[in-house]
Amino acid sequence: MTRPRPSTLGVSIRIARRTLPLLAGTACLALALTSCADDGTAVAKQTPSASSTPKPAPALSASQARAVITHDSQINNDANADRNRALLDTVEDGPLYAMSVSDYTETEGLPAADRTPYKPWSYDTANAKLYIPRLAAGQDRWFAAALSDQKGKAPSRLAVFAERPQHKRWEMVSVVDLANPKLPDIALYHDGYATAVAADGNKHLAADASLLRAAVLDNFATGGMHTGTKVFAPTEASKRQIEVHAKSGTRFGDQGTSVFAGAANRYTDAYALKTTDGGALILFSHMHTQTDAVAYSGLQINPGKEDRAWLHDVPRTSITYTFVCNDAATVPAKAAPSHLIGYTCARTDASGPPVPSWSDRA
């Protein structure tokens, strides 16, 4: 995984010979996901000694989970050093892999002099907060971890690791940057293991992954006017998404528009863990687009250097950016608002028609 960082759309609209600087584009702040079927409610309410039936087995042990995290960091650094996609593919999958590869692509579009030298990193594995669920026989194995890339610092990210049986290995599939250092209160057995619950179609929760995804998309598309502010209580993360919508919608003034919309989502898996209040922490992904367009003929959008890999410095009349994002929310068991606790996005594509003068020249 390349270290999550905001992605900006460094574009400008040019009128004749005068270029107008613009506000940075969508704030890319930002795990892939699979459904977990067993909600384990009855098991969670009784102690292991009182249970008359065997408990589901944990996905793996704590020591094995820490080894998975350490291995992921080591291979990530090796792959990132020379942007080795095949090597990275052995420890990442799903939306996280798509986001990392897009970062490789963006870097390769820059002149060598503009590329930031790569600095190796690692997670503080010893102090990672592990959330390892007990899973029924036949369920796909996965676990979540709260991680910090600085020793002694509080975790700042939530990651999901999933076993890929076809590859016979564990891979990181999602990472969310937390908006607040306070971690969700995950319900744990006395031996430290967690309870997986259904992320979609769970009637015991106020919202499921599908509704949360729709609410996040509404935050970007309308500023939360329809679903967003009804599903989510105000949090730093949800406010930031609404602010992205507001700032992007006005940054061109009367010379252009910026419109968000949902995109066909390739990453529909979701993961959920029971929380101490009977609700759940749900980790899910979404995709959205942002289309910037000039208001009238004679204007053009000049791509920024970060867009060079996709747009090749060619002026456009409109540009559609595609984003892949990982999200995390806590959901109550009763009918009450959920809380978006973090999200991380990366631009994975950009396209748009060249200005007529460029098209004629081509």
Per residue in 147-169, pLDDT (tens digit) is: 998 888 999 999 999 998 777 89
Residue 10 has pLDDT above 70, yes or no: no
Q: Residue 64 is encoded by which pair of tokens? A: 């094995």
What is the chain's mean pLDDT, rounded?
A: 86
Record the tokens describing residue 329, joined without a space: 């929310």
What is each CA distance from 77 to 81, 88, 355, in whole angstroms? 6, 9, 40
**Hunting for tokens 């109550």 — which residue is that?**
332
Percent of the chain clearing pLDDT 90 (strictly above): 76
pTM of the model: 0.84
Beta strands 318-331 and 339-351, pairing class = antiparallel
In angstroms, rounded to a whole number, what is the distance separating the alpha carbons of residues 28 and 187?
Answer: 31
Give SS3 for 160.
strand
In this predicted structure, which of 38-52, 76-90, 124-138 has the lowest mean pLDDT? 38-52
- The whole-angstrom separation of Cα 183 and Cα 185 is 6
> Which H or E run contains 176?
strand 169-177
Distance CA 73, CA 193 (A): 24
Question: CA 162, CA 143: separation in Å to the nearest integer?
Answer: 7
Terminal-residue alpha carbon distance, the chain: 38
Residue 193: name the closest of 136, 141, 143 by CA: 143
Q: Which DSSP state fits 334?
A: S
Q: How far apart are CA 326 and CA 309, in angstroms?
A: 23
C-alpha to C-alpha distances, 170 to 89, 101, 115, nearest whole angstrom: 11, 19, 31
pLDDT score recorded for residue 218: 98
pLDDT (0 to 100) of residue 136: 87
* Nearest CA-CA partner of 121 in 70, 190, 67: 70
Phi, psi angles (nearest 5°) of residue 181: -70, -15
The 10s digit of each residue's pLDDT in 292-347 is 999 999 999 999 999 999 999 999 999 999 999 999 999 999 999 999 999 999 99
Query: What integer is the mean pLDDT of 116-128?
Result: 93
pLDDT digits (tens, 9 = 90+) for 155-213: 999 999 999 877 789 999 999 999 998 999 999 999 999 999 999 999 999 999 999 99
Give residue 247's pLDDT: 93
